[in-house]
Each structure stands twice: as C-alpha cells, then as structure tokens.
Amino acid sequence: MKEWDGRFPRSLYEEIVAHARSVFPEECCGLVAGDRNGRPVRVIPMENSLHSPVRYQMEPREQFQVQKSLRSEGLEMWAIYHSHPVTEPVPSATDIRLAFYPDLIYLLTSLKDTPPLLRSFRIRDGHVEEAPLTLTDGIA
Amino acid sequence: MSVLIRIPTPLRPLTNGQNEVQETGGSVQEILDKLTVRYPGIGERLLDEKGDVRRFINIYVNEEDIRFRDGVQTALKEGDELSIIPAIAGGSR
Ligand SMILES: [Zn+2]
C-alpha cells in the first residue's frame, strides 16, 4: 500500500458531497481513482443498486467497466466512498463486515452536519483505523 | 487454453503482488483449482467451505458475469480474460 499524507483535494470533497445530496435520503456510493503516485485524482459516482437509505451496493458490472477504463488510463481504485444520510460518518458493523478492500481508503460522509464531514478509514480484518484527512485547495 | 486472470488489489498479496497471472484451463473451475494450488490462501478468499464461489466474489469471463453463463462450468477459450471482482457494499444497518 502506498503511503498517503492525508491530503485530499477540496474539489473532490465537493463532488462527493454533491453526490450524497443528489440521492438523499438514499446512501450514495462511488470510487475515487488515484494516480501512479497514490494521490487521489478523480471522483467516480456509482449507482447504489439497492437505492436504500441504510444500505449500499455497487453493481458488479459497473465496477468491472470502471476498472477497465481506469486501467486503460493508468489509474487505480484509490478509495471507496459512501454516505450516511443522517448518521455519523463512521463505518457501521455492516460496513466493516463487508469491507473486502483492506488496501483502499474508505471515505464516509454524512449530511447530518453542515458543512458535511468527510472522514477516512482503513478497514482491515474487522479493525477500523481512522486516517486523518486534510482538505487542500488546488491539486493534491 | 491459456487464460489471463486479473487479480484485484486485495488479493495481490497472495499472488506476489502480480495484478495479472496466466493459467491454462478449459473452464472457470479448472482455473480456480490451479489458482488455489499455486497461490496458497487464495482458495479460501474465493470459495466457501463447500467449494462454491463466495457470494461477495464476482467472476467475469471477458465482459460477462459467470452467473449469467454456466457458473464455474463456463467454458474458456484461448485468450479469454477472467476478472475477479470482490463486491463493494455496506450499510448503516
Ligand atoms: Zn456505511
């Protein structure tokens, strides 16, 4: 896993929050792509196939297609994001149980607070560790 | 049949960091058997106790989910690509 200094572009944060708002009260979900240096560069909104306020699941076909196009651009999956529409942006028991990507960052936002918080975590073998995130202006 | 297998990032520690590997086999099942032997630990990540593909593991042959073909019996031909895609899901409840 590449090291990450916690810097996260504000423009990407704004895209994630806009996505969360656009599907409220459902949970939103998506990916953040990273470049070869392990820096976050792009938000990729995905469909929550469950259209639920308390659950999310990506469509495997959409995951497949996004991975293919990222590969052709020399980018990689860097983070998985989702929203908790009205609860704290921390991983739930379900989030932890279904976290199959210990190498990625898990970003959570919540519309509970204004401005919405965005927090980042690593979830490995059922253990959650917060990775402090700092919003930066301009390019990460 | 020589098949290219795309390994997702969480399984790469089990394939010595390789993001794709080659195996030969005539069906998805044969490829899974080869991977299980060659890369210790990968078997239990992909298959449950009964040897079925885990519910949260998706396998694609080229552009298609094997669930919509013949499952692990899906036949492979030379040059096919097999992608392993762990699900991305969660929920506050
Ligand atoms: Zn959640």
How many domains are there within chain A?
A: 1
Q: How far is CA B74 from the centre of its chain?
A: 12
For residue B54, what is the domain's CATH number? 3.10.20.30
pLDDT, one tens digit per residue, over A91-132 is: 999 999 999 999 999 999 999 999 999 999 999 999 999 999
Gap from B78 CA to chain A (nearest CA, Å): 20
Cβ within 8 Å of residue A45, ≥6 positions away:
A15, A19, A28, A30
ipTM, 2 decimals? 0.89
pLDDT at A12 over 80: yes
Per-residue model confidence (pLDDT) at position B92 = 76
Q: For residues B11-17, give the mean pLDDT.
A: 95
Inter-chain contact A27–B83, Cβ cutoff 8 Å? no
Please state, in angstroms and rounded to a whole number, the distance separating the CA atoms of residues B5 and B79.
10
> How many CB atoms are located within 10 Å of the residue A20 CB?
27
Q: Is B74 inside a domain boundary?
A: yes
What is the residue-wise DSSP string for B43-75? HHHHB-TTSPBPTTEEEEETTEEGGGTTGGG-B
Is residue A64, in this structure, part of any structural domain at all? yes
A2 falls within a domain: no
Cβ atoms of A126 and A137 within 8 Å: the answer is no
Residue A59: what pLDDT?
Answer: 95
Strand, coil or helix: B76: coil
In a domain, B93, yes or no: no
Specify the CATH number for the domain of residue A18. 3.40.140.10
Q: Which domain holds residue B16?
A: 2-86
pLDDT of residue B17: 94
Minimal CA separation from B40 to chain A, in Å: 18
Please report whether residue B61 resides in a domain.
Answer: yes
* pTM score, whole prediction: 0.92
Q: CB within 5 A of ion ligand 1: which residues?
A: A 92, 95; B 90, 92
State the residue range of the domain holding A20: 7-136
Asked whether A47 and A62 are in contact (CB, 8 A), the reply is yes
A26 occurs within a structural domain: yes
Residue B40 included in any domain: yes
Dihedral sign for Cα atoms in the order A18, A23, A130, A100: negative
Determine, yes or no, domain membership for A77.
yes
| pLDDT at res. B91 | 83
% of residues, chain B, pLDDT over 90: 96
Q: How far is the CA of B3 from the centre of ligand 1 (A)?
A: 36
Q: Per residue in A24-78, pLDDT tens?
A: 999 999 999 999 888 999 999 999 999 999 999 999 999 999 999 999 999 999 9
Total domains in the fold of chain B: 1
Partner residues linked to A75 by β-bridges: none
